[in-house]
A and B are shown apart, each in its own frame.
Chain A
Amino acid sequence: MDKVIEKNTKVPLLHEQKVKAPLLKRIKDEWKKNALVYIILIPILIHFLIFQVFPFVYSFFLTFLHYRIIGTSEFVGLQNWKQLFQDEIAWKSIWNTILFSFYYIVPTMAIGLILALVIKSGIRFTKFFKGIFFLPVVTSFVVVAGIWEWLFSGTESGFINYLLSFLGIDTQLFLSDSSQALIVLAGLSIFKVSGSTMIYYFAGLQSIPKDMYEAAKIDGASAFKQFWMITFPLLKPIHFYVLIITTIGSFQIFDSAFLLTNGGPNFSTSTIVYYLYTIGFTNLNFSYAAVLSYVLFVIILIVSLIQRKYFGNDQSIY
């Protein structure tokens, strides 16, 4: 009640002046307080708009165009999207990518967990072994693929074939066999990524309270039982997190398919990104490539949303 009276008793003109002056002063104060914020953030936001937001929006726009590198592009509506549904190789590439995830995700998680358990088992030289297991993670695909190509050469003298010969297994074609090539590529990724899943699991193992194992020991539980009853279930959030990041990673697979098989033999290693690359930069059909990149985006978006649903915006679960 008091406030209302106060407001009403004020002269309008005076009131206006009083607001105006502080506004300028407020801007001045704000600048004084947050100059650093504006100096840094404004260029960053401009950069963000140019290199993230604009390309994102523009590539959606591209999917409705018949883009011409020279000359004017024309609007073609949903034609590029319709093409997707008639394009068998596109569907084969999507299927190959799913198949690749299938070969890659569980082994990468399992080996990562095994490596973490090995490091956690109280051996000496922990840091040394951790380094060795992590080394492939920091090595480029080009380097690993170069080695892989030689290891898995599909002749008698290939290194893996040589090892297999001791087990009495016949010479395999590996990368030239359409039913094996994708598995060999998955093997490369497993080798390259297991070191990073190891780190997540290692962090997870350290967060399990020691007294749980002590209690289990008193009850006479074997090491095997301890693992399945305590360790494995308590790592659930880590399993889930690792599952999400390896899934996202597996849908973006490109380098090894490009370096080792060029999508062959018979399109058996043509993944979504590899196909997108050939459509975009061999056939120069940017519009249809943009459609394919949106397919990839939608898949990754769904996976990420599942992650958000379980973890919210808080990514610091570790």
Chain B
Amino acid sequence: MLKKILKYLVTFFLGFCFLLPFLIMVLSSFKVTTYAALDPLFWLPTDPSWSNFAYLFRNDNFLRWIFNSIVVTVIPVFSQMFFAAILGYIFARKQFVGREIIFWTFMAVIMIPSQLLIIPKFIMFSKFQWINEYQSLIVPELWAIMGVFLVRQFMQGIPMELEEAARMDGANDFQVFRRIYMPLAFPSVATVGTFAFVSNWNDLFQPLIYMTNEKMFPITVGLASTLNKEGNFGIEMAGATISFIPTFLIFLFFQKYFTEGIQLSGLK
């Protein structure tokens, strides 16, 4: 009994420690205090107010940043899901010359850190006139190798008999893919989508470099710029809370795909 109580105490303590920063973030976003930083407990919920949120939404740039983040996140998410699914199928089930070489070349490239590509890509995008354009964040992210790997692994586990039966009924490649592999491998495709969402929505490094015009910032870069400028913790946290809501909702509804996917793939 004592052991059980101790177990719960430890769990709740750890849970509290992990939750506290988020609690402070949400609660302080409802506080109007320019002297916020002076009191370590100012965030305790007394006199809540929406004024920090009102301030942010009166700021034209803020809505624009959210819009930019949506554009550069949603398109890659669906595109990565589609390509992960169809390339996963191609590499798992189709027979063609060079299949293994192509696949393992893709896999080898994972070892190249994205920071290595940033300088040549910046030079390239300058030539393309892609600086301060959505393309710079969307086009390179249209498909991702890790996602292909994940779906391929998953599809290799689907029994061949299903495909053979469909072929007997005269189904072509695309039909086999759409009617058999896509539905059965959906969990892995959903994992790819959730990870693509989080990594694109949260990306700071690439937009920091490709977007120099304030109007084109996604919310991460926008928030980082206010973080250094505002000096008002309540407003900063209101911004942080808003930018956190979409990832939180995605996480809440698709938690299963996150935790399963991370085991399957080694995605960070």
Residues of A within 8 A of B (CB): 30, 34-37, 40-41, 44-45, 47-48, 51-56, 58-59, 62, 67, 69, 114-115, 118, 121, 123, 127, 129-151, 153, 155, 157-159, 161-162, 191, 193, 195-196, 199-200, 203, 241, 245, 249, 251-252, 254-255, 258-259, 273, 276-277, 280-281, 286, 289-290, 293-294, 296-297, 300-301, 304, 313, 315-316, 318
Contact = CB atoms under 8 A, between A and B. Distances in A.
B155 interface: no
A290 B173 CA distance: 44
B115 A293 contact: yes
B21 A249 contact: no
Contacts of B143: 44, 47
B266 A241 contact: yes
A286 B21 CA distance: 38
Contact of A293 (B21, B41, B118): B118
B137 interface: no
Contacts of A151: 21, 24
B90 interface: yes
Interface in B176-212: 177, 198, 201-202, 204-205, 208-209
Interface of B: 7-8, 10-11, 14-15, 18-19, 21-22, 24-25, 28, 37-41, 83, 86-87, 90, 94-96, 102, 104, 106-107, 109, 111-113, 115-124, 126, 139-140, 142-143, 149, 153, 173-174, 177, 198, 201-202, 204-205, 208-209, 220, 223-224, 227, 233, 236-237, 240, 243-244, 247-248, 250-252, 255, 258-259, 262-264, 266, 268
A300 B143 CA distance: 23
Contacts of A131: 251-252, 255
Contacts of A118: 7, 10-11, 14
A203 B262 CA distance: 10
B116 A255 contact: no
Given A289-B119, A293-B115, A150 B233 contact: yes
A141 B15 contact: no
A142 B240 contact: yes
A290 B198 CA distance: 28
Given A56-B112, A138-B247, A157-B38, 6 more contacts: A35-B173, A58-B123, A115-B14, A129-B11, A139-B22, A196-B262
